[in-house]
Structure 1
Amino acid sequence: MTDIAAGFRALHIKGDPFLMVNVWDRGSAKMMAAMGAKALATSSAAHAFTLGRPDGGTVTRDEALAHAAEIVSVVSVPVQGDFENGFGDDPDTCAETVRMAAEVGLAGVCIEDIALPSPEAYDFDLAVERIRAAAATARALPHDFVLTARADGIMTGVYDTDEAIHRLRAFEVAGADCLYAPLPPDMDALAKICAKTTAPVNALVAGPYTAQTQAAFARIGAARLSVGSALARVTHRALFDAAQGMLEGGGFSVLKNGISSDIIDDLLT
């Protein structure tokens, strides 16, 4: 565990971003690791989809921990837990979540500043205290552990880029190892976030950012790329299109586009 977590930290280099692929079950985790992913992460939305639930605070901490433990058990690369708001409002709960995440073998977690299931952001001072408590627990662990602090209000429209930077800089001072403001308005805003902070910055490759390249993210100083639930949504798109063709159109031609079982078997072996 020590080597895996330390190796995860070492991957975070500003201007040389690595891709951390978000997965949602043992199969997707094994496939991505076999195909060369250097690190994996859970996705709260993708996990919720597998449980037949919508995204946004519908997964419990126990469920998220058990889900993460399953993924950790089948790969040898670092895994980060997408643990939403830390599964509670108060700083002590965030700290406990970090401790429990480390116990199941995660190399790190990310904690956001949205008071789920509400769309509202935590008050600035409380948001910082939550990260400070989580960071203190992370540093007290017997091995390395990467804490990512998220300023999600920029994605939900609760606050602007300047407030996101204000929060991220405070999160860094509070002890966060990696910073994350999902889906800023544009690449210029993301570049500003990278320039105004010193800790490694994670960029979410989703929505309009899927038009960018890894080299473009490198040029603006990003250290890590993640895909959130985007890869899971691609699979749901395929499922939706195939089902629509069969159940509404009465045709089955879309099924001919499936990947060979031999390829899947090789990746899962």
Structure 2
Amino acid sequence: MQTLKEQAELFHQLHIKGNPLVLINVWDAGSTKAIESIGAVAIATGSWSVAAAHGEQDGEIMPFEWVLSNLARITSSTKLPVTIDIEGGHGRYASEVKENVLRIIEHGAVGINIEDQLPGGTGLYAIEEFVLRLRAAREAAERMDIPLFINARTDIFLQTAPAQHNSSHLEEALVRSYAYAEAGASGLFVPGLQDPQLIQELCERSPIPVNVMVTSNEPTPAQLAMLGVARVSYGPYPYQSAMEHLKELGRSILLETS
């Protein structure tokens, strides 16, 4: 049985540029067991899916105590490393982020996603302010003696339609990448970015591994690997797909009984 520290070290090692860690995001203990059973090497939650599964909206509306209790059930149901999406950190101040990350680690997670989007989705934290939040998360991990994988999510590319992404967005992402890495981030998460050329350049120039979320048929995970991506995730798609299947199943049953 691996210790939490050993799980954290393994999770870091799974991020390989050109041979990405593929994460099929889960939302509870049941979906965790399903994904583990098909050969996954790590477990990742998605905040949108977790909130939806609890009948809530995304955006830190779901009480943090619910987040923790759900995490506890997930980590107790698997032997795999678990990373959790904590949105912006569930706290306005860096001190709150630090306390929350301490509790996340206590509940068995070895990785977090933390985003630079302001609560409510109206713009991004200034780099200086988000750096304080990342440093607080790293301080919490160091206190627990766990090499927590801090996946710093920047929402630069979500603020603009994919067709309008250009080199200025890339340069802004790179500025944040270097600042976030210096503050203790382990990886850079860029949801919304789909352009292969921009992805490749970001992977080449970022000081930390890049995580891309699959949101369409292309680029595929194989293509993302060739572009230098180190982590591929699926966000809310698995939950949405499962719910669509459930509805279709329900419709067919109701039709048969009507």
Q: With structure 1 as the length reference, what TM-score do the two structures score? A: 0.85
Q: Percent identity?
A: 31
Structural RMSD (CA) = 2.0
What amino acid sits opposite 1:179 in the alignment?
L
Query: Which residue number in structure 2 is paired with residue 169 of structure 1?
Result: 178
Query: Which residue number in structure 1 is paired with residue 207 of structure 2?
Result: 198
Alignment of 1:9-88 (within 5 A): 9-88=12-91
The 8 Å contact of residues 150 and 168 in structure 1, kept in 2 or not, is answered as: no
CA distance in 2, matches of 1:170, 1:252: 58
CA distance in 2, matches of 1:109, 1:41: 9
Q: Give deviations 1:90-114, integer Å, cap 9, x for gaps.
A: 2112222221111001011110011
Matched, 1:216 2:219: no
Query: Which residue number in structure 1 is paired with residue 164 of structure 2?
Result: none
Matched, 1:131 2:134: yes
Query: Which residue number in structure 2 is paired with residue 180 of structure 1?
Result: 189
SS at match of 2:22: strand
Q: Give deviations 1:205-262, integer Å, cap 9, x for gaps.
A: 12x2x3333321111111111111110010122234445567xxx6249xxxxxxxxx
CA distance in 2, matches of 1:193, 1:100: 33
Structure 1 residues 130 and 182, CA gap change in structure 2 (3 angstroms): same
The 8 Å contact of residues 119 and 156 in structure 1, kept in 2 or not, is answered as: no
CA distance in 2, matches of 1:182, 1:85: 14
CA distance in 1, matches of 2:125, 2:147: 28
The 8 Å contact of residues 32 and 74 in structure 2, kept in 1 or not, is answered as: yes
Matched, 1:141 2:149: no
Q: With structure 2 as the length reference, what TM-score do the two structures score? A: 0.89
CA distance in 2, matches of 1:10, 1:50: 31
4+ runs of 1 displaced by more than 6 Å? none
The 8 Å contact of residues 138 and 148 in structure 2, kept in 1 or not, is answered as: no
Query: Which residue number in structure 2 is paired with residue 258 of structure 1?
Result: none
SS at match of 2:25: strand
Q: Give deviations 1:11-68, integer Å, cap 9, x for gaps.
A: 1111110212210111110011111001111111111111112222222221111111
The 8 Å contact of residues 44 and 59 in structure 1, kept in 2 or not, is answered as: no
